[in-house]
Amino acid sequence: MSNDRIHRFHTSVSGIELPAQFTFPFHYVPHPLAVAAAGEVMRYVATRVEWRHELQAGKMLGVLVVTGDNGLGYLAAFSGNLCHSNDWDYFVPPVYDLLQPRGEFRRGEAAITHLNHVIAQLEHDGQAAACQRRIEELEMQCRVHVAQWKSTMRASKQLRDAMRANGSLKPQQEQALIAESQYQKAELKRIKRASAREIDAERARLEEHESRVAQLKQRRKTMSEALQERIFRLFVVSNARGERKDLVDVFSSYYGCKRLPPAGTGECCGPKLLQYAYGHHLQPVCMAEFWYGRSPVGEVRHHGHYYPACQSKCRPLLDFMLQGLDVESNPLAQPSAETVDGERLDIVYDDPWIMVVDKPAGMPTVPGKQCAVSLLDRLRQLLPQATGPLVVHRLDQMTSGLVLVAKTKEVHKELQRQFAEHSIKKRYTAVVAGQVQGETGVIDLPLRPDIDDRPRQLVDPRHGKPAVTRWKVIKRGHDGTTRIAFYPLTGRTHQLRVHASHPGGLNAPIVGDMLYGTAGSRLCLHAESIAFVHPVTHKEVTVESKAKF
């Protein structure tokens, strides 16, 4: 393979069989060939001194194992750009080079940058602030003038009242007093109108200035959206059938209406790798993306760990680009061996009002976008006479363990109240990859959804919701793992998984965690115990189910 973008394996892979199907990039265990390729890439990039600083700060890298006329090899890619360039030797080139000096993006960016300077000058030229100060001064002057005139009017009225109290006013004098009162009232109105005219004139100047800035910002937005669409039209991708589409058409077809992709679409590893393979008549075999360097603030990324492709940018794009390949099924859409439809649910507790079931790993608690049979589907079959929503709380699809079920609407409402008041106590068992420091502790890391890559969660002290977990070491394994008991004090999505993986938590991902650690045969997280006050008998009930890992 003479092409410097297509690499032969330096390590022996002769004993590794090719996969029967191509990688499903959104949930996978990396194939040994992809692992071997990733290892070679990591060793190579460590030798490139000019990349060292940026790579150590953290970067997503990817590999695509391919076959071609010269046999088996692999391609490598980085997400975004690297050291101010998106086209380096060794890595595949971008789908479209945004950084071309005279390219469409640079020209459009220059026009928008010029507009930014104009807006910044207007916002900082002091005119708006001066107008605002002048308005405040005029309003103060008006208040003072009005107050002084009203004081004069009160003094005049007191004098008129005293003169009238004497009872010796002649008709001409009474008319003079009335005229004085009318004049003072009219003068007060004139003072207010004159002040209002000055203030309105100053406000008009301020509004004119602000309107000009707003118009320029709207123009900038229109230019930015138009540039974005022009750029996305230049990102033309292929699939294994030989079909070609630009990114706007890809996203519009996926969503069923015209839709612009998010910024950065087409610059991730997966699309770059597949586009290069198709363009050079290479057959994709398997793919993997992995993190190199430090974890970003707020995110959970570990050096050398493999991660799925992102959802917001890559899901529609790879959905098109993988057409024509024999791709593995989405494991989240398929019932696992534990969740075959018709299999009897493991009922751990049952009475006329409440049931507690042991949900298998891989079964979603409620129906979702995927076609896998959910726990709620099974419960509706099992309890056709039940009223209300049945499921009181949820577990992640890949988490196994105890789920509380209410057979009546009234019981469901009462148990929900207990959850809202945090009076229901839960204990989870997990096996984490690493020797945890300490024996017990509390993790307090606020969480929010990653809007660009749902369902991933981010640690965000400013915008995140409170998420607190107590933990205790149960056992330390000889294989470098630690068995942990988790006691969640709040119930955020992926709370235990992020708190385990994040450097501010245990810094030890749960074994088998595809999103925050390394994929495995299953996620080693089990809801082992739940304690609540029975809504009917008012007795405390504790239910337990030991983990099967």
Are 255 and 261 in contact by the 8 Å Cβ rule? The answer is no
Are 268 and 280 in contact by the 8 Å Cβ rule? The answer is no
- Token pair for residue 306? 């493999």
Among 422, 428, 427, 429, CA closest to 533: 422
β-partners of residue 525 are 430
Mind telling me the catalytic residues?
396
Q: How far is CA 530 from CA 348, 357, 376, 393, 402, in A?
A: 11, 11, 19, 12, 7
CA torsion sign for 430, 436, 441, 445 is negative
Among 350, 369, 355, CA closest to 311: 369
CB atoms within 10 A of CB 20: 7
Rounded Cα distance between 66 and 296, Å, is: 31
CB atoms within 10 A of CB 7: 19
- HSE on the CB side for 529, CA within 13 Å? 10
91 DSSP assignment: S
Are 373 and 335 in contact by the 8 Å Cβ rule? The answer is yes
**C-alpha torsion 263→277→311→236, nearest 10:** 40
Which residue, chain included where needed, has tokens 């997990």?
A: 430
What backbone torsions phi and psi does residue 403 show, to the nearest 5 degrees? -125, 130
